[in-house]
Amino acid sequence: MNSTQLINEIDKLKLPIHEYIVVGGGALAIRDIRETSDIDIVVTPKLFEELKNNPDWIYKVRPNGKPKLYHHVAEIYLDVNTESFSLSTSELFEHADIFHEVQFIDLHTLAKFKKHYGREKDAQDLELIYVALGYILD
């Protein structure tokens, strides 16, 4: 989905504005860096519990043992931390970029997460982020 479709999907979720932040591919799509197929969202523990009790959201345990909720194209997490790099939800919020009244992870922080994930798709995204930030790549 492109940035317009992304905002439309986020609006459909009707999440409280200051209790979530869009991370991952959505943060790239909103900046027209690349399109995304899903929306990864980190929420406050309070909102996670509320959504967990909503029958529209499906609860699952991720391979890393952490919980997630999903509904259509949206996936909700309490964090997206790795063993080697972590930030609290409030720290993510502090550095958020705002687009259409929605908080999105800033590119510098997203790059740090992508670097620590170490997956092939993250390496590809990292190159796109570096170009968007104006870094010169060899």
Q: Which DSSP letter does residue 84 get?
A: S
Q: Which two tokens stand for residue 79?
A: 């964090």
User: Would you say residue 54 lies in a domain?
Assistant: yes
In a domain, 124, yes or no: yes
The reply to whether 108 falls in a domain is yes
d(CA 125, CA 12): 26
Please state, in angstroms and rounded to a whole number, the distance separating the CA atoms of residues 97 and 129.
Answer: 15
Of 15, 50, 60, 118, nearest in space to 26 by CA = 15
Domain of residue 62, CATH code: 3.30.460.40
* Structure-block tokens of residue 65: 């043992």
Give every residue of the chain whose pLDDT is below 70, as ranges: 136-138
Q: What is the pLDDT of residues 74-103, one digit of tens each?
A: 999 999 998 889 999 999 999 999 999 999
The pLDDT assigned to 135 comes to 84
The reply to whether 111 falls in a domain is yes
Number of residues in the chain: 138
Task: For residue 85, give its domain range.
Answer: 3-132
Inter-axis angle of helices 120-132 and 107-117, nearest 10: 150
Dist. CA 1–CA 55, nearest whole Å = 25
> pLDDT value at position 92?
97
Query: pTM for the complete prediction?
Result: 0.92
Residue 114 lies in a domain: yes
